[in-house]
Every structure is written in C-alpha cells, then in structure tokens.
Amino acid sequence: MGFSKEFREFALKGNVVDLAIAVIMGAAFGAIVTSLVDDIITPAILNPALEAARIKDIKDLAWNGIKYGSFLAAIIKFIIVALALFLVIKGINRMKRKKEAPATTEPAAPIYTLQEKLLMEIRDSIKK
C-alpha cells in the first residue's frame, strides 16, 4: 500500500474527522465563554464589586502585591464551561435512555458449570 493511500485512509477515518470537528467547535465555544465572562458577567456582576473596591478591571485585583484577577476570571470561565458541558452531556444521556429499548422482565436462564450439571443429573437419577 502506498504512503499517500495509507495516509488518506488514516486522515479520512471517522474518528480523525470527528476529533477535528470537536477541536474546532471547542475553540469556538471557548470564544463564546470568553465573551460571556468578559462582556456580560464581569460588567453585570463583578463591576459593581470592583467599583466598590475602586478597581477598574478584574485583572487589576491584587492582594499583598499578588495579582489574582486574571486567575479569578479563568476560574469563572472554567465553571461556566464545566456547567455547559454537564448540561450537554446530561441531555445526551437522557436522549440515549429514551432511545434504548426497555429491558425484558424475564429472568435469564441460569448458567451452570459442568460440575453443577453433573450433580443435578446424579440428584435426578437418585430420585428415580
């Protein structure tokens, strides 16, 4: 098999294409979360607290010379991403459960070992 043909088969496998799509969508989702935190959450929730502390930007937050504002923004972004992924996976799992066929209520036939089968035959022959 030629190198180019082998590479083409590898690159066009479903898993590789699915992974590429997931990475692209993840990057886009990251941009959405960044915008959500920077443009909506920070102005609506954090700016009043920051103004009370006389700080103009979350990145300017500091304690004893240690700037923790960027870290705090990253934590907020992580929590939002984790919550969004949790809700998506919860919805997917709910849809999967609905699609699955209900399990039969009939108990499965017991599986006996060879020794158990022989003992049952001996028992039955003694009864006769």
Domain CATH code at residue 122: 1.10.1200
Residues 63-83, mean pLDDT to the nearest whole number: 83
Q: What is the pLDDT of residue 122?
A: 92
C-alpha distance across the termini of the chain, in Å? 68
Looking at the structure of the chain, the number of domains it has is 1
Q: What span, in angstroms and rounded, lies between the C-alpha atoms of 36 and 55?
A: 20
Q: Is 59 exposed, middle or buried (0-12, 13-18, 19+ CB in 10 A)?
A: middle
Given a contact cutoff of 8 angstroms between Cβ atoms, the answer to whether 34 and 76 are in contact is no
Phi, psi at residue 64, to the nearest 5°? 50, 40
- The C-alpha atoms of residue 73 and residue 42 are separated, in whole angstroms, by 9
Domain boundaries, position 14: 3-127
CA gap 105, 66 in Å, rounded: 62
**What does the H/E/C string look like for 52-75?**
HCCCCCHHHCEECCEECHHHHHHH
What's the pLDDT score for residue 103? 62
Name the pTM for this structure.
0.50
Residues 107-119: tens digit of each pLDDT: 667 788 888 888 8
Residues 6+ apart with CB under 8 A from 69: 55, 57, 58, 59, 60, 61, 62
